[in-house]
Chain A
Amino acid sequence: MRKITIALVSMMILIALSSCTTMKAVPNDRAVKRFINLYNTGDTEKMTVMTSIPMLIDGEIVARTSDANFFWTRLAEAGFKFDGSEYYTIEPVTDKSSLIFGDTMEVATFFDKYVPSTAVLVRLSGPGGDFILLLSGRKGRYPFIFGFTGPLS
């Protein structure tokens, strides 16, 4: 009886931990892979939930959830997908990372103010070239997306 109780309590703790939300967890390889797969399934509602608002798209700060949803929906409608989920690189954010999105005061401030130091830049290929996803934290199985840019020239 005691073993069953311990097992149930452990299971409840695990469920609670897996569904907890944090913006500061470092996304590991498995989380990144899950995120790319999530995007490629075209589940735009879930993508919107996993979007940290404000979000950066190139040099534009997206400040409304409805605009983020609009963007993910339009990308899905256009048939935009990343090339598989096996080939990507993960790098930590540095002082220079903001320049990938744009050399402006707004982008620099966005990084200073909204991007956790634990964020990573995921570089992966898609139609027309390489793209960068700025990911950090976790909610359940997926990291949050803070930024999207590409194709890089």
Chain B
Amino acid sequence: MKHILIISFLTIISVAVFAQDADLVFVDGWVDIKSAGDTFEAFPGDSLKAGDSVITGEDSYAELEQKDLSSITVKPDSIFTIREIETDRGKETVLATTVGSVSFKFGKLFGTEPRVATPSMVAGIRGTELTVYAGEDGSTLITVNSGLVSVESEGSTVDLAKDEGVEVRPGEAPGEKFSLLGREMDFASWNKEKYESLIADPIEGLDRLGNQLDGFVGKIDELELFRAKNKEKKDILLEEMEKIKESSGQEKANVFFKENIEALALLEAPSYLNIRYHTLSALSFRRYILGKLYLEMKSKYIMDVQNHEYLDFLSSYNRIMNNFEIDIVPYMNPRDL
């Protein structure tokens, strides 16, 4: 019991040190906060913690501020979520944009640097002003106003400096970076172009989105494998500890636990946190990107449900949804919905 208490204490401390919550400082129009499964209207002064989302409507936007005076502007028709992930540098805040456009202006950071993510990329940042555009086809456009941003996707990285941008398509490495000088970024037009390209060939588009979901599943599988190996090692060591207890007494067994098992037990919490991170990322992707494509196709063919393109789409959609039910749903809980 003592050991369990120590482990829990360490976990709580690490959250307190590194979690970067945010306060809502300005709201224009109707904005929702989704927190612990409940959705309610947002007002200035509301606080967001890890796991919470801000959802803006077509004519609304919200501004958030973190304790280090970093500011985040969630533009109209966007979904922004604060998440946490465990890395080799410890627990890090991930500022995730599922769809829409969010601008960041980071102040003097405390703890570890936050990461900025969309369904198709993760970016590390350093003293930066940047805007992230997450398109309704799962693509990302990221532009930098100041500082340095390192954009990572599918194992490849592109470094961006002031007045540079890059596009990342779902399931692909970042594209060629481009200069923003003399170029006016128009997210609405970019998003429209991306969405039209997605629905021009919805079955191919759906396959791409399915591959993106498979990417989340792959990351969860890796973490599960790690957990399984860890548990196997821990079970062997626990048996050994029992033998030590029988032969040499409780005190020796406690020393053995501290030296050999405690570290393994501590590794379990981060992998659980990261599985949750990828689960929630997959859920957001499915809900707002794949779900929108489903609505598009359902409404397009509602008067012609036997159309072969629609039936082909449904066949792929049902396959992806079955996989989602098998691979992602077991890691979800009712509060996620």
Contacts and interface: CB of A to CB of B under 8 A. Distances in A.
A59 B321 contact: yes
B325 A78 contact: no
A61 interface: yes
Interface residues of A, number: 33
A54 B57 CA distance: 14
B303 interface: yes
Nearest to A72: B299
Interface in A69-101: 69-71, 74-75, 77-80
B295 interface: yes
Contacts of A63: 34, 39, 55, 287-288
Given A61-B287, A78-B303, A105-B332, A66 B39 contact: no
A71 B55 contact: no
A104 interface: yes
Interface string B167-201: 00000000000000000000000000000000000
A33 B37 CA distance: 33
A57 B293 CA distance: 13
Nearest to A79: B303
Contacts of B295: 57, 60, 62, 67, 70-71, 74
Given A63-B288, A113-B337, A106 B39 contact: no
B302 A61 contact: no
Interface in B233-262: none
A66 B291 contact: no
B321 A104 contact: yes
B286 to A, nearest CB: 9
B298 A57 contact: yes
A71 B79 CA distance: 19
Given A62-B291, A63-B287, A105 B302 contact: no
B173 to A, nearest CB: 30
Closest 5 CB pairs of A and B: A74-B299, A109-B334, A60-B291, A105-B329, A71-B295
28 contacts: A54-B337, A57-B294, A57-B298, A58-B294, A59-B321, A61-B291, A63-B34, A63-B39, A64-B57, A64-B77, A65-B57, A66-B77, A67-B291, A70-B292, A70-B295, A71-B295, A71-B298, A71-B299, A74-B296, A74-B300, A78-B302, A105-B325, A105-B332, A109-B334, A110-B337, A113-B37, A127-B302, A128-B303
